[in-house]
Structures are given as structure tokens and as C-alpha cells.
Amino acid sequence: MATQTGVQDKYADLAGMRFHYREWGSAGAPPLLLLHGVTGHARQWDRFAGEMVDRFHILALDQRGHGETEWGKSYTPTAFDEDIRTFVTALGLAPVAIVGQSLGGRIGTAFAALHPELIARLVIGDIGPDVVSAPGGARTAAVIAAAQDAGFDDPEEPIAASQKANPRVSPGEIRYSVLSNLVQRPDGRWGWRYDAAGLPSRFDELPSEESQWQQLTKIECPVLLVRGAESDILSAATASRMVEMMANCRLAVLPESGHGVPRDNPAAFLAAVRPFLLDEA
């Protein structure tokens, strides 16, 4: 994937931490905040942002412990929520539309329930209250555990491994995403940019599954739940129950997509999400 034009890399110092984000479009357009997944980063949204910039002021945030944002001392759900609240209010984005993938969807869900006055619309990318017990939960935990001690002599190693693990994603997208997620260490080897050692706490300290189900009933804004038809993280049964629990939620199921809905089938993701955000669906 080629580097985009018209995008700016910016930084914000919020509550003692330095956050990196990417920004597209005019500040006069409706604000759209993009939140990546548990091992992701802001640059993974470049393609989608390029398709949306004609109608939105877009900000893709590197969340704490990811990308070019500082690593945090805490990775609790409360810490993530406070980051988003502070970011949205400091930049004057409210009411903001949020598109969150995986962990980003979980954070967006909590944000919508806790701060209804700050959010306009929410897109939840393939995650539900039972993420830990879902078949793909163990797979995700294993990936994170392996990343804690990961080091590579050549960036081609993680690129090849990521392509094997994500065969639906185009080789160009994989290369761009992985290279953007690596940093060279003092010893010359390459490691991941995200704080893999801190990641397990995100699973250990999640609210109970039942409290997450109840949280859905507090969401007032329109919601689009996007599920990959082949996902091992969000089952059809869980997705249906989520739609029933929320006051104004619709479901989109993307064919030829697993958990990584924005990248597994980007055309279908755009076709589902764009009209929802524009209130045309």
C-alpha cells in the first residue's frame, strides 16, 4: 500500500501521555474516530479513511501501548475509556461517530454506554461480550503471548507469518501494516511496536460477561454491528443477541471475512459502513 497524501500525523499530550493520531479531511466535516484492534495501529485504517474523507473529518488514534503512542502503566478498560473521553473532548469532536475493530469495538461499546452525550453513531467490528470464551479467544491470547518475546532478524519474517495467518488480506496491505507495526531495537533486531507484555491485563480485567451484556442496554445511539461470516470471535448467535439487547442496532454479515472485517473484505465493509455513517441505510 502506498503512503497516502492528504493525511497528517499529529500528536496530543493528554493526562500525562503522548498520543499519536492520523488525521484526514476538513475540521468542518462530521467527525469520525477510528479505533484499531488489540495488536493493531492507526495506519491500518488508511485505506478505509481514504474512502471516507470526502464526507468526514477522520481521526485514527494509536491507542495507549500501540503504534507511536506511549506505553501506559495501566491497560484497564477504565484507562482506555478515559483516553477516548479526553481525546474527544480535548479536540472538540463531540458528538463523534466511532468505528472500532475488535478491541476498538469493545472500547467504543463501553464509551457509547458511559457517555451517550459524546457519541453520534457506533460501528462495532466483530466483537461481543463473550470474546474471552469464544473459540478465537484462545487463538488471540496465544498470539499475544508469543509476541511478548518476539524478535526478528529480518522484517520479512513477520510479514510472511502475518500473510499466512491472514490469507484474505492483500499482500500489499499485509506488508504496509506489518512494517508500520515494527520497530528496530538497539541490538539490531526487530520487535512489535505494541506493548505485548501489558496486553494480557486487557483480558484479565475485562468486566464480567454479564455486565458487558447489560451495558448494551444503555447504548442510545444508532449502532451497526459488523460480523465476519467466518469469524471465530463473534458467533451468529451472539451477534443476534447483541442486536436484541440494543435499542437501535442493525447487523451486517460480511461474506469471505473472518474476524478482521475492515481488511478481510474491505469492499463489503465499506458498502455496509459508509451508508450507515451517512444515515443513508
Which residues, other chains included, contact 134 with Cβ-Cβ below 8 Å and sequence gap of 6+? Answer: 128, 232, 233, 234, 235, 238
The string of pLDDT tens digits covering residues 44-78 is: 999 999 999 999 999 999 999 999 999 988 898 99
Q: How far apart are CA 104 and CA 189, in angstroms?
A: 29
Q: What pLDDT sits at residue 145? A: 75
pLDDT at 203 over 90: no
Q: How far apart are CA 277 and CA 97, in angstroms?
A: 7
Pair 242, 142: CB distance under 8 Å: no
| pLDDT top residue among 120 and 148 | 120
Q: What pLDDT sits at residue 118? A: 99
Say which range, 138-152, 206-220, 256-270, has the weakest mean pLDDT.
138-152
In percent, how much of the chain has pLDDT > 90?
A: 82
Instruction: List % helix, strand, coil for the chain (3-state, nearest 5).
Output: 40, 20, 40
Q: What pLDDT sits at residue 147? A: 75
Please identify which residue in the block is written with the cell numbers 478515559. 82
Q: What pLDDT sits at residue 1? A: 45
Binning pLDDT at 50, 70 and 90, where does residue 3 land? Answer: very low
Tell me the angle at which helices 209-216 and 236-245 cross, rounded to the nearest 10 degrees. 50
And the C-alpha cell for 32? 469520525
The string of pLDDT tens digits covering residues 208-227 is: 899 999 999 999 999 999 99
Q: What pLDDT sits at residue 5? A: 55
All domains of the chain, ordered by start, with CATH? Answer: 7-134+198-277 (3.40.50.1820)
- For residue 16, the Cα-to-chain-centroid distance in whole angstroms is 23
Q: What pLDDT sits at residue 204? A: 57
Q: What pLDDT sits at residue 202? A: 55
Q: What pLDDT sits at residue 200? A: 64
Q: What is the mean pLDDT of residues 250-258?
A: 98
Write the Ramachandran bin of 176: left for phi over 0, alpha for psi from -120 to 50, otherwise beta: alpha
Pair 41, 66: CB distance under 8 Å: yes
Calculate ∠ Cα 63-141-194, nearest 5°: 30
Q: What pLDDT sits at residue 2? A: 40
